[in-house]
Each structure stands twice: as structure tokens, then as C-alpha cells.
Amino acid sequence: MKKRQRILMISLLAPALFVLILVMLYPLINSFVLSFYRYMLTDPQGITFIGWGNYVRMFNTVGFWIAFRNTLVYVGGLVFFEFVIGFSLALLLNLQIRCRAVLRGFFMIPWIIPSVAIALLTMWLFNPDFGVVNVVLRALGVISQPLGWLKDPSLAMPTVLLVTVWKFFPFMLVVLLAGLQTIPEDEIDSAKIDGANAVRRFIHITLPHMREIIMIVTLLEFIWSFQYITIIWITTKGGPVYATTTFPVKVYEAAFQEWNLGFGASIGVFWILFLLVFSIFFVRVVGGKAESKV
């Protein structure tokens, strides 16, 4: 009976495993192999093995390190502000307030709007000539002249970051709100009876129960944020002067503008290895702390 159950289990999982290997493992291995070759789309017959040549070029390229720095700033800002906004709103919507269901649906609006539409709307709102943002700020006396939000190197990254946070914070809100609703009410009631105020209940009850959920959602958002390209590419295309060039933009430029698939693959491999090392470190540090608190 156990043997039959094992065969049945393998039979049911085999199709999914095959698809997973086909769409994930094979491209991953192929990209790793491709990173050791000179592979120009303009010269498909001139594929040559160059060893670590693409990696040497990558580490000696100033644009790569600029993209790496911008990616860390962009991703770090996204995860931080999305978590702060999402957790704050989740705590609010977990309370017994009026129109709670309506507010939950209202805060989901940014998430369901396509990224392309948000990028086009951003270009209109922050246009230096007729953008609504400049008009409102000048009317309020905050600025004396129009600002080039997407053309000024010092303003482009904060502007794109602001728009992306607005687009994706509902994910944090939904997951954290679901986690808050799993906290046992009897523990909260007992703490109230013992005289614990809202701050103490948050520190000693809410956070311990939410620790694992926070770890998972922040790690997922960190990984996914490395892949965001739509809003940046449509609004700034990585500019001005590399101010918003991140890893996805750099890989796209290398592979489909310079037509150098080998060099683009080397950046992608570094990208994957960095995320792998960070994920292991993050899970061990945060997960270890979570287990030590139990």
C-alpha cells in the first residue's frame, strides 16, 4: 500500500515537476552557460567560449556598479516604505471602524491598475511643463518654478520610488492584514485585563505572532522588487544619466540594445547569486531570531 501511494504521489507530481524544470531550471542553466560565451545577436555564427571574460568586463564596468547601487537604493526604499505603509494601514483596518470593508477595497485600487497605465499617468502628472504636481505645488507656494521630476538626476529616483510604492503597497497590506486576523483574541483580551496598553500589546503579542509573516513578506517583496522594470523603463528608461538604471534595465540594455546576450546573462547570473546569498542570510538571521524568541 505504501509503495502504491508513493507511485501515485510521484505520478501526480511528475507533470508539474516537468513544467517547472522546463520553464525555470532549463533557462537558468542555459543562462549560466551562456554567460561564459561571446554571443552577439548581430553575429549568431560567431559564438565563442571566452571563460570569465563577461564577468571581468562586468566588474570593470562603471555602469554595472551604478546599476547595483541604484538597485539596492530602489529595492531597499520599496521594501521599507511598502512595509511601513502596509503595516500601518493593516493595523488600522484590523480595528472595528466604520466603512472598514469599503476602505479595504479602496486601498486595493493601485494594485489592480496595470503598471503601464500608472507609468503613463506618472509621465503626465510629473510633466515639467503642464504636470498637475508642479501646478499644485506652485499654487501652494512650495516651489517657485517647475521641477523636472523625471529629468533631474536628483529627483528621478525618488519620483519613481514614490510611484512604485503607491502601486505595490497593497500587497503588504493584504498579507499583513490576513496575519493580524490570525492573532488569538483571547490573548489580546487577557492582556487588556492585565492592564497592558496598546503599545505593550503590540510589542509583546502582535509582533511575536507576526514575526514569521513579516519575514516571508519582506523577503518576497525584496526578491520581486529586483524584477520591477515597467514603471522605470516607460518613465525614464534608466535615465537621466543612469540615475534610475537598475539591474533589469541593465540586463535589457545589454541583451537587446547592445545585442550582447552573453554579457546580459553574466549580469543575470550575478543577480541570481546575490539574491540567493541574501535570502539565505536573511532567513537565517531573522528566522533564527524568531525561533530564539519562542
pLDDT digits (tens, 9 = 90+) for 201-213: 888 888 888 888 9
Average pLDDT, the chain: 89
Stretch 240-246: mean pLDDT, rounded? 93
DSSP state of 199: H
Helices (H), the chain: 2-20, 26-34, 53-59, 62-93, 100-106, 109-112, 115-125, 132-139, 153-180, 185-193, 198-201, 207-225, 230-235, 247-256, 261-293
Specify if 83 maps to a domain.
yes
Q: Hey, what amino acid is at 223?
A: I
Q: How confident is the model at residue 289 (pLDDT cuts 50, 70, 90)?
A: low
Specify if 11 maps to a domain.
no
% pLDDT > 90, the chain? 58
Collapsed DSSP state (helix, strand, coil) of residue 227: coil
How many domains does the chain contain in total? 1
Per-residue model confidence (pLDDT) at position 187: 85
Q: How confident is the model at residue 1 (pLDDT cuts 50, 70, 90)?
A: low
Specify if 231 maps to a domain.
yes
Specify if 104 maps to a domain.
yes
Residue 294 has pLDDT above 50, yes or no: no
CATH number for the domain spanning 210: value is 1.10.3720.10
Give this prediction's pTM: 0.88
Specify if 13 maps to a domain.
no
Stretch 95-106: mean pLDDT, rounded? 83
Range of 72's domain? 66-293
Specify if 86 maps to a domain.
yes
Going by C-beta distance under 8 Å and a sequence separation of 6 or more, which residues neighbour residue 264? 251, 252, 254, 255, 256
C-alpha cell of residue 114? 496595470
C-alpha cell of residue 47? 559564438
More confident call, 121 vs 294: 121
Stretch 42-66: mean pLDDT, rounded? 90
Which of 294, 290, 105, 108 minimizes the C-alpha distance to 216? 290
Specify if 270 maps to a domain.
yes
Instruction: Compute the CA torsion angle 171, 175, 176, 178 (nearest 10 deg).
Output: 140
pLDDT digits (tens, 9 = 90+) for 256-276: 888 999 999 999 999 999 999
Specify if 16 maps to a domain.
no
